[in-house]
Amino acid sequence: MSQGQTALPPRQRSKTTRTGKTEKRSAPETPKTGRAVKPPPDDAAHILVVDDDHRIRDLLGRFLLENGFRVTLAADVEVARAAMRGIAFDLVVLDVMMPGVSGMTFAEELRRGSDLAILMLTARAEPDQRVKGLEIGVDDYLTKPFDPRELLLRINNILRRRGTAGDGPGEICMGEFVFHIARGDLRRGDETIKLTERERELLRLFARQPGTPIPRHELVAGETSGSERAVDVQINRLRRKIEADPSNPVYLQTVRGKGYVLYAD
């Protein structure tokens, strides 16, 4: 390792109590720094770090915070799920090998209903592990030990690709509403409109191809129920958030016999 690089510590598993239970953090956390760090702006990318090794988790949390990101930490998949119910993340840094639900299983779960950016961390260097992760649809893969600066470069590359996916717009306007595609933020002036993860994914699908009708069967792919009726319900909910008159939509319209289309200003 060259001079000036910061090595990640060797992997350390969660401690086990006298009762034999694994000791975990029960809720998402924010990084703690030993010195004053300028708070990241409200529109900075928000990263979720999921790793059961508290030293790696805390080190990455501090490093990313110091480099201008908003950061939330999770000790396992259950904590990560809880965090995602209330926060729209831009990217998740996800360890493969964790007790309980593995990172690979969680990545598969995310990909069934979300296009959230995923960067996998692993202590395994075998090609089949990398191939499996990429087949699932993760954006990148990094093998431990690594220089945190390499992680930073990979994260920035993923976010840059996501922000310009398909050479489409970075954001779209619908009247007084603005939707930032990469971040998944819907705003009306200074107000942030709360979206569910499913609503966010639907808006991203429409926003990446405005003016193009998307068939219901393509939209069903992200529905856990697999029902076209469930898609209709989600569309109606979205209309109530972006349309002045949801019963007579201007932006998110039905294309009879085909599906739905989003028109942007």
Instruction: Tell me the whole-structure pTM to 2 decimals.
Output: 0.56
> Sheet harboring 191-193: ordered strands across?
171-174, 177-180, 185-188, 191-193
Q: For residue 48, give the nearest of 34, 29, 67, 35 by alpha carbon.
A: 29
In this predicted model, what pLDDT tens digit does every residue of 38-62 receive, in sequence order? Answer: 788 777 889 999 999 889 999 999 9
Q: Which CATH architecture has domain 167-262?
A: Orthogonal Bundle (1.10)
Residue 2 is predicted with a pLDDT of 44
147-170 pLDDT, tens digit each:
888 999 899 888 877 663 344 457
pLDDT tens for the chain, residues 1 to 265: 444 444 554 444 444 433 444 444 456 666 666 566 678 877 788 999 999 988 999 999 999 999 989 999 999 999 999 988 878 888 999 998 888 888 888 998 888 877 788 999 887 666 666 677 777 788 888 888 888 889 998 998 888 776 633 444 578 899 999 998 777 889 998 888 988 888 888 898 888 888 888 888 888 765 555 577 888 888 999 999 999 999 999 999 999 888 899 998 8
Domain ranges in the chain?
46-163, 167-262
Mean pLDDT, rounded, of the chain: 79
Contacts of residue 53, defined as CB under 8 A and 6 or more positions apart, other chains included, come to 9, 11, 12, 13, 14, 95
Report how far residue 43's alpha carbon sits from residue 190's, in angstroms, rounded to the nearest whole number. Answer: 11
Q: Which fold has domain 46-163?
A: Rossmann fold (3.40.50)
